[in-house]
Structure 1
Amino acid sequence: MHRDDLRLAICVGLAAGFGSISTVPDGYYLPLTVAAVMVGSYGGSYALGLQRVICTLLGGLLLLIAQPAFTGLPFPIGLALMLGLIRFLGGCLGLEAGYKITGMVVVMGWLMQSTAVDGWLGLKLSWTALGVVLALLALHLFWPSTAIREHQKAYGALLELQREALLEQQRLLVQSAGARLSPARRKERHRELMRALIQSRATRSAAVLELGANPYAQPQMHLWTDLERCCAAIAGCITALRALREPLVAVPGFRGLHQAEAHLLADAAALLGVWQDALKKNRPALSADSTSQDLQASIEHLRSVERDLLKQPDLPQVLDPFQQRQLARRLLLCYQIGAVVQRMQLRWQELIVTNRDPSPAPP
């Protein structure tokens, strides 16, 4: 049994006990609401609970206003028109969940006596609102499960896969031939990377709800957006690196170049590890001594080694055109990874460390 299941069982049991001992009728609506709303994280439960309350209100309003207009029609026709009206209004209001609740309110109220509908609607709405409040309090106070934490945890898992992939390429550049992954293994690793990227995007909507009414005024919102772009760019570079042939490690003239590339990838992977540690906190602030100076030094060293290699007059005779394209492609991808990681490091420090305003300055 997971922690979330145990928390749900305890909260539903307490809600059922409170509803049964209460002198207010229809107390069974309280545990039903808690069980329906208390799923996932705080942000997702908040959105689901808000939709449930809105749909209960919508069902009550339709029952009180539209039902008298349909009483002269046969029961099946009148009820069908009412349900169609529910679907139309729900689509206009942009409701994504709760149509069953609206329909249940309408059907149950239609079958009750008109004198009892007003009191039942008030009780139903009160118990529903109380259940939503209790579910949100439980998620916030009892083994907290927040969407922000889950969202940043998903990014941490994605960064771990990318860090392992960069270290894998780094080992390939310093070892002898034969360390390259098989095509089936490369395809499997690519799918793992894509699933992690999709998972990080899927948890965004619930996390945005927890940032408040104006999420774009929060630095974390801009951080997530920039981090998503950075991870997508790194994923593309990793896939392209894996598709290249084995590096020319055995050729003495290119060993220094591949070692410089390996240092660059290792420094980029080290920064990804720093980001992982920062994302474990609710406010992912980087430490003051976390900089990209080592990565910048690796980039400059690789450029120096590249310039020295291009000065060799016999370079075209050593490599055939295909090998030259492979060598240039690997160099370009290493530079791209270094630049992307470096820009993200500076952006992260700008948003979280210095607490500067993320909005652009006016012209």
Structure 2
Amino acid sequence: MQGSYHGVNTSVSARVWYNTPMQILIKNGRVLDAGCVGEQYAKRTTSPASGLDAVCDVAVAEGRVCGLGESAAASLAPDKPCRVIEAAGLWVTPGFVDLHVHLREPGQTHKETLESGARAAAAGGFTTVCCMPNTEPVADSVETIRYIAERAREKGGGVNILPVASITVGQRGEELVPMEALVRAGACAFSEDGKSVANENLMREAFRRAAALNVPIFSHCEDKNIAKDGVVSPGAARRFGLSPIPPEAESAIVERDILLARGIENARLHICHVSAARSVELIKKYQNELLTAEVCPHHFSLCDGDIKSDDGNYKMNPPLQSAADRAVLLEGLRDGVLPIIATDHAPHALNEKTRVWRIPLLV
């Protein structure tokens, strides 16, 4: 997702302009949707996508755009250091926002830390990321949310790391977390991440409380009664003798959560990693300003036909769907039904990834 406007980066500069007092002049890059600058920039009320597409210069001071075009250099203080980056042939964009990442801290720092995750984000041009709550311990308490928020400020290197809290205590689906206290501590949203809240009454109450706090619910839509112990799409399951995850496992909860949210005034629902055509149809049917949805690069770039063997590298949740599903995802990107691309960045240690061949369901 594009549009944080915390600064401007290019593929060569994203790693260097954070945490530095120097000014930066980015020259001759192709500037895409950079928006307005100066007083208009600070007061902008329109979409970040201004439609600008031009080769020009961009000036950055104190981490913010201060000049654009032929006069960009003149907006910089002549008595202060300035790094000049030649960006000919490169794109210059607003900072990207990733609504769905797993940064593994606390509890799984052998996979990644908040610091290393922030560095990776900056290297890719991301200035804001929302980190999911499946940490150890689960991000379900004021203490854990504060730890993530404070650690992110210390180690984030200029990248905004926004913690997402779990919906239920321990992600067990039995008791709602203290939502108001968690928002005060820094939670930007709530998600059961990696699973759905099976209890509909509990989920309805979660929507009610989140709406009162004006924060969204991020929903991982998966009915485990349908998915069971599946690992791949039905098409791939038939080819390799594996257990399937029917696409209805996703679309059933997509529809349920949409209807639950629609029954609560001002309830905001964001649907994570949409993969199935039926899910897109439902989102389009009920589309409004309180309903958003994301799609991941792997789901719109690959399909289950790309799986040529029972290769564990293709194991993901939700699974790669059919070519027909993929075509609908691409259409959803084009027509705005799926306006957000999120990565679902989820690092694992190398030894954990090499063990995937010995997972029984992949044998």
Shorter-chain TM-score tier:
under 0.3
Rg comparison, structure with higher value: 1
- In proportion to residue count, which structure has more helix? 1
- In proportion to residue count, which structure has more strand? 2
Q: Which has the higher contact order (CA 8 A, sep 6+)?
A: 1
Q: What TM-score, normalized by structure 1, do the two folds share?
A: 0.22
Q: What TM-score, normalized by structure 2, do the two folds share?
A: 0.22
